[in-house]
Amino acid sequence: MNRLRLITPLLLVPLSLHCLAGVPSYDFRQPQKDGVVLVGMECHHKNLTLELGVFYPSDPPSKRMDLWNTADLVKFNPETSMVQDIFTVEKRCTLGADRYKVQLKGVPGAANAMSRCGASTGVHASVWKNGQAIFDEDLERCNGDSNIKKLRFEQGADLPAIERRDN
């Protein structure tokens, strides 16, 4: 019985570390390779703003942000080329009296990496302000019909300012 009490915490440590692992982040100072699409978030406490954006090698982030490669949000099975898993990054941001929850979820181009749009990946953003959904839309998709470049949530505004890409 005493041995079990000593072993149990040791067994839980790897489990808790695995749960914390999540999607790897990307350093904004690291140059983007061709084909890499990043999604970023900045919670700016001084300006009381929350920004989300999609970045390409031709238009990388110009400031420090939390960044993730959209390809890391979808995992394909290397043997079958089928979607194996879709990951979600969840972050929280408090600006003044407002509490934001942001979820960034992978969007596969297709269920099979070998089909049209195949292994391309996008991202879906869901944002809640004080528990109420205020944004729920794809930021990046295979077919390119989402032209959102940046979202900016400001104190006092119920909806984000949306900056779109020139098509």
Number of domains, the chain:
1
In a domain, 5, yes or no: no
Task: Tell me whether strands 66-69 and 83-86 are parallel, antiparallel or unpaired.
Answer: unpaired
14 within domain boundaries: no
Residues 104-118 have pLDDT tens digits of 999 888 777 777 777
Please check whether residue 41 lies inside any domain of the structure: yes
Domain that holds residue 119: 23-164
Q: On the CB side of 101, how many CA atoms lie within 13 Å of its CA?
A: 7
Whole-prediction pTM? 0.80
Does a structural domain hold residue 12? no
Per run of 10 residues, the mean pLDDT along the chain (length 167 residues) is 42 33 76 83 95 90 90 90 92 94 90 74 94 93 75 90 83
